[in-house]
Amino acid sequence: MSRNNMVALILAGGRGSRLFDLTKKIAKPAVHFGGKYRIIDFALSNCANSDVDTVGIAVQYESIQLSSYVAHDQLWGLNTAGGGVYVLPPREKEGSGFDIYEGTANAIAQNLDFLDQEKPDYVLVLSGDHIYKMDYREMLQKHVESKADATIAVIEVPMKEASRFGIMNCDEEDRIVEFEEKPPVPKSNLASMGIYIFNYKTMRKYLLEDEKKENSSHDFGKDIIPAYLHDGKKLQAYRFKGYWKDVGTVDSLWEANMDLIDDESELDLFDPEWKIYTDDTMTPPATFGKKASAKKSYITQGCHVDGTVYHSVLFTGTTVSEGAEVRDTVVMNNVKIGKGARLNRCLVMDDLVIPDGMELGDKNAEKVLLVSKKVIDEAGRKQK
């Protein structure tokens, strides 16, 4: 049991279809980020740094790689006596057939036996596809002090973007009085981060009641939170002030990687007081040839640069050949960029070879170009 009597459940079962080919064979939380990390490293590291020792991960879509990765709970220091990381796939139970997770609430409801075994006072519900650093102990303290039934982390977003989020409308004491799912005309700019703390006994009751409703979508935002509000339960907002980004699209994943280069970014991966832990590969340091030029970039170990790299992020094992130019681009693991190739405003998938002289991306494009093998083959045919 965690030292603060709180168990975390990370929801990591989504298909991640807006990331297209990046999630064709792996779950979204297992996608690589920031040169050497995976997206789920952030939620797991936050748990470890916040003294949350017991973590369940509800997996579903393309879960093999994610499950094998998180099984190494020692990476995050979570292999403690009485704690650990537990992979929780959908499973067949006595008296029922095999049920997939039908929504965020249903994913927790199907694992009440796991929670009953742990006997927590509080349950921390997280998403496995967000990039942020948060001390959950501070959120728990707010939850306890306010005597709330549930606490929801919120972040202020620009008012013009608020209609894209679930919006929490609060009173002067930050008690949530209304929840609006993607309202066309928002009343506030307090967006839900999809991070919740529940009193377990109350949450358990609501989840079981929700399971009996045929017309429910079994979702926290659409069903559980509105039910709490309808019944007059106390919902407290916890205002988060730091860096947070939902990396559910190619553009947002590219932006979050680019934030690592921004001198004013709050996403600091060099902070010794709040480390983000990961499976660090055994590779040599980055190396640079005689004609190499690298400015304002984030270049990971195992890379070799002979060309020009500007305002870009290079993941482990990438090679930039002589005469190649990489600008405003995120290049994932083990990519070979050929001589004279040009990349501009791209996100390049793992293990690809960019042929000599190939030009991909456009600095003026509205959307980032996701470079896959199919994109390279099509560009090759056009440039012949």
Average pLDDT over residues 327-343: 98
Answer yes or no: is pLDDT of 218 > 50.
Answer: yes
Average pLDDT over residues 78-97: 78
Whether the CB-CB separation of 124 and 51 falls below 8 Å is answered with no
Token digits of residue 85: 């990381």
Whether the CB-CB separation of 352 and 335 falls below 8 Å is answered with yes
Helix (H) or strand (E) holding 355: none
Average pLDDT over residues 183-203: 96
Where do the H-state alpha helices sit in the chain?
Answer: 40-49, 64-70, 104-109, 112-118, 136-145, 200-211, 225-230, 250-258, 373-383
Instruction: Tell me the pLDDT band of 299, cut-offs 50, 70 and 90.
Output: very high
Average pLDDT over residues 146-151: 98
Q: What is the pLDDT of residues 47-80, one digit of tens each?
A: 999 999 999 999 988 888 888 888 888 889 898 8
Answer yes or no: is pLDDT of 155 > 50.
Answer: yes
Instruction: Tell me the pLDDT band of 2, cut-offs 50, 70 and 90.
Output: low
Answer yes or no: is pLDDT of 1 > 80.
Answer: no
Answer yes or no: is pLDDT of 93 > 60.
Answer: yes
Whether the CB-CB separation of 319 and 325 falls below 8 Å is answered with no
Q: Closest by alpha carbon to 134, among 197, 57, 42?
A: 42
Token digits of residue 244: 């947070």
Answer yes or no: is pLDDT of 13 > 80.
Answer: no
Q: Which residues pair with 191 in a beta bridge?
A: 155, 167
Instruction: Tell me the pLDDT band of 185, cut-offs 50, 70 and 90.
Output: very high
The angle formed by the CA atoms of residues 75, 81 and 84, to the nearest 5 degrees, is 45
Among 97-101, 186-190, 335-339, 370-374, which is the least confidently predicted range? 97-101
Answer yes or no: is pLDDT of 242 > 50.
Answer: yes
Q: What's the CA gap between 12 and 4, in Å, rounded?
A: 23
End-to-end, the C-alpha distance of the chain in Å comes to 62
The angle formed by the CA atoms of residues 119, 122 and 128, to the nearest 5 degrees, is 105
Whether the CB-CB separation of 152 and 235 falls below 8 Å is answered with yes
pLDDT > 70 in the chain, percent: 96
Instruction: Tell me the pLDDT band of 384, cut-offs 50, 70 and 90.
Output: low
80, exposed or middle or buried, with CB in 10 Å at 0-12, 13-18, 19+? middle
Q: Closest by alpha carbon to 40, among 62, 57, 18?
A: 57
Residue type, 246: D
Rounded to whole angstroms, what are the CA distances from 20 to 23, 227, 347, 349? 6, 34, 12, 11
Whether the CB-CB separation of 115 and 204 falls below 8 Å is answered with yes
Answer yes or no: is pLDDT of 272 > 60.
Answer: yes
Res 237: pLDDT: 98
Instruction: Tell me the pLDDT band of 16, cut-offs 50, 70 and 90.
Output: low
Phi, psi of 275 (to 5 degrees): -75, 145
Stated pTM of the model: 0.93
In whole numbers, what is the pLDDT of the chain averaged over residues?
Answer: 92
